[in-house]
Each structure stands twice: as C-alpha cells, then as structure tokens.
Chains A and B, each alone.
Chain A
Amino acid sequence: MILTVLSSLVVIFSQYFYLGKQWNLMEYLNNWFQISYAVALALGFVNLTVIHWKNIQRKREGWVFSIILLLTMYGYLIVGLAEWSFEGPIFGWIYENIMAALSAAIFSMVAFFITSAAYRAFRVRTKEATILLVCAVLVMLGRAPIGDAIWKSWLGGWSGFVNQWMMGTLNMAAMRAITLGAYVGGFATALRIMLGLERAHIGGTGTQ
C-alpha cells in the first residue's frame, strides 16, 4: 500500500508540479512503464505456460485445448524468431491464412448473433421497451441506404432528420452523461486507491 501511495504521489508530482516538469520526471516514468510492460509480457508468457502445463499434467477438463494453446504459442514464437520478419514465408502465411482469417470470421459472426438477439429481445412488453425498439429500428434503418429510400418516400426532404436527430441529440446527450459519470467515477476510484481506502488490487478485502 505504501508503494501504491508513493507511486501515485510521484506521478502527481511529475505532472502537476513545476519541479516535476523541470526534471522531466514523466519521461523517466514512461520509460519505466515501457520496461515493466515488456517484463509483464514475459511474465504472462511464463504464467500461461505454467497454468496450461498443469492442466495437461492433471488432465483437467479441456486439457486438449491446453496442448493446442501451448503448441500454437511456442510454435509461432519459434517461427517468428527463426524468420525474424513479418514477411517471413511461414510466419506471414500463418498470419494471413489462419490468424487474420479467424479473427475476421469471429467478428463477422457477431452479425448473425445480433440478428437473432434483436428478434428475441425487442418485444413491446413495456412502454420503455417499445421506445427502445422503435429507436433501434429507426437508427438501424437510417444507417443503411434502404432506410434513406424508405424515409424519402414517406418524409421527403425530412428523410435524414430522424436518424440525425436521434444520433446527434438524444444519443449525444446520453453519451455525454455516461462519459462524464464514468470519468468522475474513475477519478473517485483513483483517489480511493491512493488514500488506501480501496485495497482489492493488493489482495485486500476491497473497500473500507
């Protein structure tokens, strides 16, 4: 906890005090962070290995996936080190044909889930749910050219107004409130950590 308090004081000193700026403390802190970042990455690598090695040894549920994970992780690392370039034939091939393709596929599957989820979730159960439903449909259609065509035939020159008003007025006001609330909450949490009132990050019981 003392370390947490001291660290936060150093950061505050480096950012908000004249001497901190003069001594360029922030640059030192940034360099330390970058080094810690690299160490944390290595630590994560070791940690992942230990956890999944234990899974395999004890044949816990899904241990086969642990084998796949370790083989993939070390295999790709070795290929990367051996070829020492993004453009290496094997490294590049794995990236282009497996990693990029899988990553894009996972993201694109969301469209199907959303289609099904929208059908199931949007019901006119209450007044609030009905308002949500109507807004969702209007904005969704408004973001596709078909929406423009529909609104144009109904509303003429006002066709862009529905979507723009919802996004530019209703949504913006709500998002501002949420964002400001989140930042105030973040500031309060940071202050609590600095004052030692919040100890969950050091394995404490959480709040006091």
Chain B
Amino acid sequence: MERLMKIDRRIIYLIAAALVILTLFVPLGLPVKISDMTRGAYSAIENLPDGSLVFIAPMYDPGARGELDPMFVAMLHQCAKRGYKMLIGNTSWTLGVQMLHPIVTDILGDYGYTYGEDYIELGSKPGGSIWMQQATNDLVTACITDYNNQPLAQFPIISQVPKLAAEYVDAILVLDCGTPGAREWLTYVSTPTGIPLVVGVIQMSVPEHTPFLDSGQYKGLIGGSRGAAEYELLVGKPGKAVKSQDTMSVIALMVTLFIILGNIGYLTSRKK
C-alpha cells in the first residue's frame, strides 16, 4: 500500500499525456452547463446599444492562447454579429498581436467588415498603464500608427474615437493573463472614464478577479477554458474551448484519483 505514495512522476506524466491524446480521438461529449458568471459577461456585451464601438484588448501572448484564443474568437463573433465597431490593440504584450492578426482578418472579413472603417488593429504599444493614461487623453498621440505601421489619423474610424472616453467607447473587453492586464484597465481607464469593463481571464487568475465582478467594477467575467466553452456556446460558435472540456474532465478526474491513492498510501503507512 505504501507504494501508492511513491508513484514515479514519469508514470503520472505518461498517463496524463495518454489521457489528453485519448480524449482528442474519443470525445466524451459531456454537457457544458453555463454559469451565471459567463452568462452575465455575454449579456453585458450583447445588451450594448446598436452601433456601439468597443475596444478589445487581448493582453496575452502565445503562452495563454490555449485558454484565451477561444474567448477572443467568440468575442469577435459576438461583436460582429451585433454590428459593433471595434478597436483592437494591447499594450506591452508585443508577442500577442502577431498571432491574433490572422484571426481578426478571417473572422471580420467573413462578416464583411472594412478595415479602417468598421474596425482597426492598433497593434501592441509600449508603456502599459502609462499608455492607457495617454490613450484617455489622445488616442492618436498614444498610438501614432496602426498594426501595419500606417498613420492612425488617416482612418475614418479614428475620427469617431479621439480618446478613450465613455462618450466615444461603449465598452472595453479585456483578455487578461498577467500584468499589465484587466486591473490596470480598471484603474487607469474604466474607473476614471466610466467605460464599462468586461474581462476574460485564464483559470488560475479567476480567484483574484472575482471580487471586482462582485463589486460591479467588472460588468462581466469569463473564467478560463471552462468559461470560454460556456461563452462559445452562448455565442453559438462552439469551438476549441468546447472541445477541450473532455480533456479537462478526464484530467480533473485523474488528479482526484491520484490524490485519493496517495492518501490511502499515506494513511496506511501512518497506521503502521
């Protein structure tokens, strides 16, 4: 029985890898129950007035794309379905914009969006919270160019948004995986300007962000891969996050079983 306490970590890795691969080929198809938290985030975006303009800030890089890409994709679909205009850009997450460019082009192209008129990619700007403050004063000065290094001032959509202020921007949608992230957007943009903030975060960040949802400072919060799957279902575009839920299930079950086995071994050895 004591052996149960000392299972080689390589065996655990192997079983985990096997289960991940297995669920790719043999989906369990367990239903994903939609939580109030994700439904709230969906409604916050859905209930914006027609013709709204939203700022989408994907504040992440390839490390977090497994959890946040599905949210970003579903967010683009929801905003495009509702006909919102979009400003897409981040600050300090330089490695993120490049991987998101094809996603933006493909999805918004399918909805017939015109670059520079209906949406614009700002790229990644340096400065973090300082850039955010500058953008609340003057967006063109803060950005200067777009993702393609073209002068920002030439695009018609920018004439509608001289700065990040509640009179021009109806919501900020932040996808967060670290610093700077949603907290900085809350402190430096949402709170001083009054622009509503909807946030998507990786699973391990959910506990630190829930108090802001409860206090009403976030208008919505989507949490981790599970939240992304729920959000995809609400938007009506089930994708990678929904597919990954089977993997989440078997891994959670596996970890639980290993914890139980380890404790059986521990209790047996203690009795001896």
A residues near B, CB below 8 A? 26-27, 30-31, 33-34, 37-38, 41, 85-87, 92, 95-96, 99-101, 103-104, 106-108, 111-112, 114-116, 118-120, 122-125, 133, 137, 140-141, 143-149, 159-160, 164, 167-168, 171-172, 175-176, 179
Contacts and interface: CB of A to CB of B under 8 A. Distances in A.
Nearest to B252: A144
A204 to B, nearest CB: 27
B193 interface: no
Interface residues of B, number: 60
- Among A41, A99, A143, A159: residue with most chain B CB under 10 A: A143
Contact of A118 (B13, B208, B246, B255): B255
A92 B97 CA distance: 12
Contacts of A146: 30, 248-250, 252-253
A115 B203 contact: no
Contact of B262 (A26, A92, A99, A122): A122
Interface stretch (B46-54, B58-66, B82-90, B165-173): B58-66
Contact of A104 (B32, B63, B226, B254): B63
A145 B30 contact: yes
Nearest to A104: B62
A150 to B, nearest CB: 9
Given A115-B254, A176-B211, 11 more contacts: A34-B130, A37-B130, A85-B149, A118-B255, A119-B12, A122-B259, A140-B255, A145-B246, A160-B33, A175-B208, A179-B208
A148 B31 contact: yes
Contacts of A148: 30-31, 33
Interface string B210-243: 1100100000000010100000000000000000
A119 B257 CA distance: 9
A30 B134 CA distance: 7
A168 B212 CA distance: 11
Contact of B252 (A86, A125, A141, A176): A141
A192 B258 CA distance: 48
A30 B133 contact: yes
A167 B206 contact: yes
B95 interface: yes
B66 A107 contact: yes
**Chain A to chain B: the 9 pairs with minimum beta-carbon distance, closest first:** A146-B249, A107-B63, A145-B30, A100-B62, A103-B62, A119-B258, A144-B252, A144-B248, A116-B9
Nearest to A137: B256
Contacts of B130: 30, 33-34, 37
Given A123-B263, A160-B35, A144 B127 contact: no
Contacts of B103: none
- Among A106, A119, A164, A167: residue with most chain B CB under 10 A: A119
Contacts of A115: 12-13, 16, 251, 254-255, 258
B190 interface: no
Given A124-B267, A172-B210, A111 B30 contact: no
Interface in B189-215: 203, 206-208, 210-211, 214
A160 B62 CA distance: 32
